[in-house]
Every structure is written in structure tokens, then in C-alpha cells.
Copies of this chain bind each other. A is one copy, B any other.
Amino acid sequence: MKGQKHQNAERKEHYTVYIFSEEEIRNVTEVNETALELIEEGFQKLAKGEVTMPPILRVDIPENNGEVDVKTAYVKGMDKFALKISSGFFNNSEKGLPSLSGMMLLFSTETGFPKAVLQDNGYLTDVRTAVAGALAAKYLAKQNMQTAGIIGTGTQARYQMRALMLVRDVKEVLVYGRRHERVKEYIKDMEEDLNIKITAADSAEQVVRQSDTVITTTPSKTPVINKEWLHPGLHITAMGSDAEEKNEISPEVLGAVDRLACDSKTQVFRLGEHHHALEKGVIQKNSDIAELGNIALGKSNGRKEENEITFCDLTGTGVQDTAIAVYAYEKLIEAEKGLLFTE
């Protein structure tokens, strides 16, 4: 059935759904310039009001320490839109399974009919999340970057660092994680991957104090970065928080930096670091906070001087999902991949 072509009338084609496996998807998409361009374009359209992005639908399954998020976005002019289901079940590790999983669906924006199931187990989310980090660094990190710091040692700690390399010529990496074994693994894997020197830091404080850019990638519910450690030229991207209770950055940090940025104000006010800073009264909703799309359009300022301190809050948006899923779909069809499912 693989690669089967539909020869029937147009009507039949509307009932055709492709199913793609994680392996197929991994073979055609990666963290690269093209992905970065697509995500940048997506954020620009979001800023121009050309995207309909409803609030995230969330189901909690507390009995199993689980949560499921559904995100979607319709981008005007695109012939498909994505719906993404991503889940985090934090007892899975006891079963020897990854905590995170997920899939994306593509629907026609002309007929509403389903077009594809991308059974990616969260891979496309990793890619689009990483390149959003690269986009933040592109406009907000200092140009002359000696040391990049990473807090956390999981999948995004890897993808974010790969993505950062797309936009800055990093000389060395400092990594901090709570579990020594995992830090060692990170260093081993990533030194080979990036061909760069990576050093283990003793603390998050050391990472922040000694890095030009820091990316936090943890699911922490208590801040891992404090205001006292900030220094001229620093940029921080916090990508770990995507839910009310998560909080990687001390709220005071948001009051102390020169420039605040985010992927979507609506989302960070509810789910991101800005949410906690709002609650503490450190910032207000009408504070000067730039959305990435407006920065990319030149309507809001990114970094203006090398010694500014900047901060970007990423919660992950449906427009990123639609952009990456449509791109993957086109590459997969071009490569004649997928299982064709016809009524």
C-alpha cells in the first residue's frame, strides 16, 4: 500500500488520508535554515493578523500525572492547517517509556477534510520549538557570542543548541543539569554533534554569569534563574514553561532586563514566565513586550546594543505547528512516502 497513487475522480481524492511514520518524517525534516525561515514567516503572519489561533485545549489526567494539549492555527492563504495533540505523562519513565508523545493532523482549509496523520511522536514539535529559539536568538542575542549556556540536558537542550548554531557563531557551551550522568551524556553527544567545546557548570548561576546567551529547557515549577546573576549583554530564552504552574525564571528577572520579548502575548500572559511576573506585579499587560513576529517584521525592536539585557519567553504556538507540518507534508509527498488510506 506504500506510495500508492490515487487514480480515481476528484471526489475520491477528498477522502484520501496519508499516514506518515516518525522515521519518514525524521528523514525529510530537520533543524535547518528552511525550517527557521518557515517559522519566521509564520510568526510574521501571526503578527499581521493573518492567523486564527484559538486558545489551547487542555485535558489533565492527574491520576496518571498526565496532561494533553491540543494546538491549532489557521494561516490565511494556506491550503492546509495543522492540529497537534501533544501529551506529557510523567509516570511513563517508570514504565521505561518517554514522557512526551504526540501527533499532528493536517486538514484541508478548503473542505475541512482530513489530509494526513503525522505520527511523529513529538518530533516536529522538537524541531519547531528549537527554531523558535533560534529566531529569538537571531533578533535578541548579542552578535559576538563567545559562550552559550544551556540549563537542562533533555531533548530540547540538544535541539536548542543545534538551532542556535544556525544564527550565531558560538565558541563554547556551558551546560548545567541536576543529574551528573545526564550532563556527561549531553557533553559526549553534543561535542560530537556540534564539534565544539562543552563544559559542565557547577550551578545554574555559573551558566548565567559566564554565558552571553542562556536557554532554559526545564519543566521546573520553581525558578532556576535569579536577578542577581544578570550581566550586560546577556540574552535569556526560556522555553520550558508552557503551563500555569511552570516557572523557570524568577519574576524579578523580567523587571530587571532591558527588553522583554515572547512568542505570543496572549499565551505568555497565561502560561509563560510573564504570567508569574504579572501576578507578582513586576510587569503589567501594557508593559513594553515585543512579539517575535513584530520583531521579525521590524515593527518592534530586537536587541539594539551589544550590552543590553534581553529576555524571550516561548510557550509554543499553533502557527509553528501548521508551518512545520505543512512543510513536512510537502517533503513527504515529494519523496513518495506514507501509507495511503482511502475509503
Name A residues whose Cβ lies closer than 8 Å to a Cβ of B: 1, 11, 14-15, 17, 19, 21-23, 52, 54-61, 63-64, 66, 68, 70, 72-74, 76, 81, 83, 85, 87-89, 92, 95-97, 101, 103, 105, 107, 109-114, 117, 119, 121, 339, 341, 343
Q: Which residues of B contact A57 (CB under 8 A)?
A: 54-57, 70, 72
Are B341 and A21 in contact (CB-based, < 8 A)? Answer: yes
- A22 to B103, alpha carbons, bound, how many Å? 21
Q: Which residues of B contact A15 (CB under 8 A)?
A: 121
- A117 to B88, alpha carbons, bound, how many Å? 20
Are A109 and B66 in contact (CB-based, < 8 A)? Answer: yes
The residue on B at minimum CB distance from A88 is: B112
* Chain A contact surface mostly: strand
The residue on B at minimum CB distance from A64 is: B110
Contact A81:B59 (CB < 8 A) given known A70-B70, A112-B88, A341-B19: yes
Besides A55-B57, A92-B111, 18 new A-B residue pairs in contact (Cβ under 8 A), listed by A number: A19-B117, A52-B60, A54-B57, A54-B59, A57-B57, A64-B112, A66-B109, A68-B107, A85-B114, A89-B110, A89-B112, A95-B111, A103-B105, A114-B119, A117-B117, A119-B341, A119-B343, A339-B339
- A121 to B89, alpha carbons, bound, how many Å? 30
Quick one: which of B81, B87, B97 contacts A11, CB cutoff 8 A?
B97
Q: Which residues of B contact A83 (CB under 8 A)?
A: 68, 70, 85
Q: Which residues of B contact A81 (CB under 8 A)?
A: 59, 61
Contact A76:B63 (CB < 8 A) given known A85-B114, A112-B101, A341-B19: yes
The quantity of this chain's copies bound in the complex is 2
- A55 to B58, alpha carbons, bound, how many Å? 9
- A179 to B303, alpha carbons, bound, how many Å? 63
Q: Which residues of B contact A14 (CB under 8 A)?
A: 97
The residue on B at minimum CB distance from A96 is: B11
- A73 to B70, alpha carbons, bound, how many Å? 13
Can you name 10 A-B pairs with beta carbons within 8 Å?
A61-B112, A63-B109, A83-B85, A85-B114, A88-B112, A89-B110, A89-B111, A92-B111, A101-B114, A103-B114
The residue on B at minimum CB distance from A342 is: B21
The residue on B at minimum CB distance from A1 is: B1
